[in-house]
Structure 1
Amino acid sequence: MRLRDYRASLIVAALSGAFGAALVIGTGVMADAITANSLSSKDSVKITVLVVASVFFAIAVYVSAVVTANTVATVIAGRIREIALYRLIGAASSRLRLGIAREGLVVAAIGALLGTAVVFVAGLVIVPALVAGGVLPEATYTVADPLLIAPTAVTIAMGFLSSWAGSQRVGQVTPIQALGVAAADPTRRMSGARRVFAALFLVSGLVALAGGVVLGLTSPLGVLVGLVGGIVSFTGVVMVSPVLMPALLRLTGGLLGRGPVGRIAAANAVRYPERSARSMVGVVIGVTLVTMFAVASSTYVQMMLGIGDEHPEYAAEMDQVLTMTLAIFSGLFGFSALIAAVGLVNNLALGVIQRGPELGLLRTLGFTTRQIRRMIVAESLQMTLASTVFGVLLGIFYGWAGAQATLGAQLGQGLVVPTIPWAVIGTILGLALAVGVLASLAPSRHATRGSAVAALSAD
């Protein structure tokens, strides 16, 4: 097992385990704080906290599954010749897939246990500190919650299942590929069946999401319907990404200039749609999550302030609830940003390694080391810009829908206009572009290390 190939899966599994543990501990702490507080309707607020916690964890597990499946698919793309050799000597594709799924299980177990342990230890330190600082009221708080087993087990199970799903590409490798260049077919089109399923997921998901928003006006359970709709519709976006992402890249390709480096960088990003889609989906997921949480929290704050203006007697209680909620959302921002960075860095690095022969050919044709590096950075910037703008648009929509479905009935505000934190959006765009450039530096150095002839003959 080559653990370094699964670094992204390991980190994302650790984040999911930590996310789940933080939500279990945070939910218990908030429930205890609400019990100690004099805020009215505390029972309904406790139910809402539990529902929202389950929603957030479901989102984290879903993101982990998508990133893991993409990582496994990228790893397999770099092992085509090795897999083809196994097929040539008689190995069954199902056995090879099971071996890859086992690797995913081990990686998910290590990551989930590590993430859970870190958050548990942090909880033992942070909760008393928050009480001492006056952020939390005096009460008895439980950190060692038996429910911590649940998110850890779910993260491990999803790691195995998403690895199995990502390993389906093994069945597309033929034994004859052991005798040729180990490269995926860049011209392979998205199948008609996948297009149909993607359309069904998109349409049915959007309908369910709209139903969740409407139901959320009268019941806190609207968020569960909205969650299903959000996951199903976003799955449709992921399924159609090999067609959607190149279309977005064509809109940003002209920004790279008309020189040879810019033209080749723009053409490369579109020429290999599956590879570009795998790199971009991780960024889209991360940016969508960050934007979604930013818009949801801003909309939530605006709704709470409206209630505070109508009922000044609850001002103190409102301030404490807002403080706790925004602290949780701040943690969600951090998790989401890490997921985006991990997905981008991992896929860029693996993609450049797999393109060794292609980059070696460019060097033999006269491209300098500096031009190769500029080309890789330009590709990264193009993909990052397109996926960030798209992720921001998705995040605004999902953030508003999530806040509306979750809090429409709880706060009684009816349909509200989404509150968009433009400063946060600008920061997201700037940080994403900076991460895109930084993430491309190490792969660009790797691509120009050694002789062009050695790179041209690499497997």
Structure 2
Amino acid sequence: MRLWALRELRETAGRYAAGVAVVAVVAAFAVLLLETIEVFVRALSTTGMQDAAPVRAALTSVGLVFLGIAVLTAAIVISGTFATVYAGRRRDIALLRLVGATSRQIRRASRIDGLAVGAAGAIAGIAAGILVSLAAIGILNASFGAGLEFAWTPQLILVPAVVCLAVSTLAASSGAKIVARVSPAEGARSDAGSTQVPASVARGRGIAGIVLAVVGSGFLALGVIAGLVSPFGLLIAFPGGVLSIVGIILGAPAFTAPIVGGVTRMLRGRGADLLAGANLRANPVRTARTVVSVLIGVTLVTMFTVAGEMYLAQTRAYFGDAVELEQVSQFITVMLIVVYVLTAFSVLVAAIGLGSNLSLSVLQRQREIAVLRSVGLTARQARRMVLVESVVVAGIGAVLGLLLGVLYGFVGANSTFGVQGFSGPVLSPWFVVAVLGGAVGFSVLASILPGRRASRVHPAEALRDS
């Protein structure tokens, strides 16, 4: 099994490029977080501060939250990548099962791929993070005479390496789980690329997702109520947010399928648009993964924006001095900028995931596209088909992310500052326009390479024995 896994890894290494890129982003993010915290704490120590431990603990806690968000997004992307790649090996896996290989052995072999992706991404990301940190320290010293020094610590290497290897290995095993159970009789089927999840598994995930979302919503409501009498309502609302978002991720295929179906059925006129809609409806799991990767990034940015705007609105009534209000506004603005920088890594991971899913989808449907090309689909129509798929998925993810972000920001602000007065969500229309425009822009960019690949599929591929 190991020899088979290593051979397949060598032959299909290019399909893991997005996974390696995602792991590298997470590793670089971890290095930058750890280095920033260490440099900041050491700088405070030089000012005569007696005990920097509380500051270190607070910064580390915040850093771990944002790193965890980036890791969660990366796990979704990597798991989807492995699920699609392993679906393309369905026939080979069925033949291995025929000669005695077990599902556990298949999943164990998939971890070799996960380790390889994790190691490659971790090495690249750690190196990039260190170089960026050195460059940033050099710029600060040259511009402001800060006198900062690069802080070499063992965790700067160990933490990103362990996190990346663990995430990629677990994601690989999870992604290969469904295909690893393939029956030996599947070796005779021609649709070796199918990634459909068994109905029982899909139903179980949907039920679990609904339960977690309902329980999480209950905690969110309790957090808002508690926030009216105590600033610690956030301690109740936070686990509700975690449970609800996990429920949404688990149940994504169930609730995104009707939305995708409704949106794509409104596509009229051009044949490429109709094909794009049919492709998205044909595999709700793959489509849901892409929607969720976009949804998470948009939700984060919207949540903190809404919470910040609501806090400003709630404090205006309590500051009669314009100078004090200006100071609070500046503080919130700086905090939001920091948050945007931290969440930018999760948004980048989501953008890579969007491009990855499109590319792998084109590879998986290569024979299908060849058949369409043989009956008249032009190269331009093939590119448009991929573009429409990308825009539809990114648009749905952005809209759902805005709705969730407004909800979480509203709950977070009222559960923390509700004692100052309950208030409704505040969100600038320009922010909504910027998010939707950014989602469309990202989707267009993400569709360029997959669209070009789809347009280059030769009609003769339809004759290939898959």
TM-score by length of 1: 0.83
Match of 1:380 in 2: 390
1:175-186 pair list within 5 angstroms: 175-181=184-190, 182-184=192-194
SS in 2 for 1:434: helix
Match of 2:427 in 1: 420
The reply to whether residue 272 of structure 1 matches residue 279 of structure 2 is no
Q: Which runs of 5+ in 2 are unaligned?
A: 1-8
The Cα shift of 1:92 comes to: 1.8
The 10-residue stretch of structure 1 (229-238 or 447-456) with the greater mean CA deviation from structure 2: 447-456
The reply to whether residue 125 of structure 1 matches residue 135 of structure 2 is yes
Match of 2:4 in 1: none
1:366-377 pair list within 5 angstroms: 366-377=376-387
The 10-residue stretch of structure 1 (175-184 or 186-195) with the greater mean CA deviation from structure 2: 186-195
The 10-residue stretch of structure 1 (215-224 or 348-357) with the greater mean CA deviation from structure 2: 215-224
Deviations 1:111-157 (A, max 9, x none): 234323322332233246446656xx968677435543334423322
The reply to whether residue 262 of structure 1 matches residue 270 of structure 2 is no
Conservation of the 8 A alpha-carbon contact between 1:356 and 1:456: no
**What is the number of equivalent residue pairs in this alignment?**
451
The 10-residue stretch of structure 1 (262-271 or 195-204) with the greater mean CA deviation from structure 2: 262-271
Match of 1:109 in 2: 119
The reply to whether residue 437 of structure 1 matches residue 444 of structure 2 is yes
**1 CA distance for matches of 2:108 and 2:98?**
18
Distance 1:271 1:140, change over 3 A: closer
The Cα shift of 1:311 comes to: 9.3
**1 CA distance for matches of 2:40 and 2:322?**
22
Conservation of the 8 A alpha-carbon contact between 1:358 and 1:456: no
Match of 1:16 in 2: 26
Distance 1:31 1:326, change over 3 A: farther
Distance 1:188 1:163, change over 3 A: closer
Deviations 1:305-334 (A, max 9, x none): 777766957976x68855753442232243
Match of 2:87 in 1: 77
Conservation of the 8 A alpha-carbon contact between 1:202 and 1:233: yes
The reply to whether residue 199 of structure 1 matches residue 210 of structure 2 is yes
The Cα shift of 1:93 comes to: 1.8
Distance 1:121 1:211, change over 3 A: farther
1:93 is aligned, of 83, 98, 103, to 103
Conservation of the 8 A alpha-carbon contact between 1:380 and 1:437: yes
The Cα shift of 1:196 comes to: 2.0
One-letter amino acid of the structure 1 residue matched with residue 245 of structure 2: F
Conservation of the 8 A alpha-carbon contact between 1:100 and 1:163: yes
Distance 1:43 1:402, change over 3 A: farther
Conservation of the 8 A alpha-carbon contact between 1:124 and 1:143: no
One-letter amino acid of the structure 1 residue matched with residue 253 of structure 2: P
Match of 2:407 in 1: 397
**1 CA distance for matches of 2:180 and 2:298?**
32
Deviations 1:3-24 (A, max 9, x none): 3222222122122222223333
Distance 1:315 1:394, change over 3 A: closer
Give the share of equivalent positions with the same residue, in percent. Answer: 34
Conservation of the 8 A alpha-carbon contact between 1:213 and 1:401: yes
Distance 1:101 1:382, change over 3 A: same
One-letter amino acid of the structure 1 residue matched with residue 346 of structure 2: S
The reply to whether residue 454 of structure 1 matches residue 461 of structure 2 is yes
Conservation of the 8 A alpha-carbon contact between 1:295 and 1:418: yes
Conservation of the 8 A alpha-carbon contact between 1:356 and 1:458: no
Match of 1:144 in 2: 152
Deviations 1:223-250 (A, max 9, x none): 5654443332222112212222221113
**2 CA distance for matches of 1:342 and 1:446?**
17
The Cα shift of 1:415 comes to: 4.8
**2 CA distance for matches of 1:438 and 1:180?**
35
Distance 1:146 1:451, change over 3 A: closer
**1 CA distance for matches of 2:139 and 2:182?**
55
One-letter amino acid of the structure 1 residue matched with residue 373 of structure 2: R
The reply to whether residue 157 of structure 1 matches residue 194 of structure 2 is no
Deviations 1:285-317 (A, max 9, x none): 23323333443454566668777766957976x
Conservation of the 8 A alpha-carbon contact between 1:297 and 1:329: no
**2 CA distance for matches of 1:315 and 1:80?**
61
The Cα shift of 1:400 comes to: 4.0
Deviations 1:374-398 (A, max 9, x none): 2232222222222221122122223
Q: Which runs of 5+ in 1 are unaligned?
A: none
Match of 1:170 in 2: 179
Conservation of the 8 A alpha-carbon contact between 2:308 and 2:332: no
SS in 2 for 1:256: coil
**1 CA distance for matches of 2:440 and 2:310?**
26
Distance 1:353 1:306, change over 3 A: farther
1:336 is aligned, of 346, 356, 360, to 346
Deviations 1:361-419 (A, max 9, x none): 223333333333322322222222222211221222234444556x649xx75655444
**1 CA distance for matches of 2:81 and 2:54?**
41
Report the aligned-residue RMSD.
Answer: 3.7
The 10-residue stretch of structure 1 (438-447 or 57-66) with the greater mean CA deviation from structure 2: 438-447
**2 CA distance for matches of 1:220 and 1:53?**
22
SS in 1 for 2:176: helix
Match of 1:67 in 2: 77
Deviations 1:401-438 (A, max 9, x none): 44556x649xx756554442432332221121122223
Match of 1:234 in 2: 245
Distance 1:321 1:23, change over 3 A: farther
Conservation of the 8 A alpha-carbon contact between 1:36 and 1:139: no
Deviations 1:141-179 (A, max 9, x none): 774355433344233222222222222113332222222
**2 CA distance for matches of 1:59 and 1:223?**
18
TM-score by length of 2: 0.82
Distance 1:322 1:192, change over 3 A: closer
**2 CA distance for matches of 1:171 and 1:434?**
37
1:290 is aligned, of 283, 301, 326, to 301
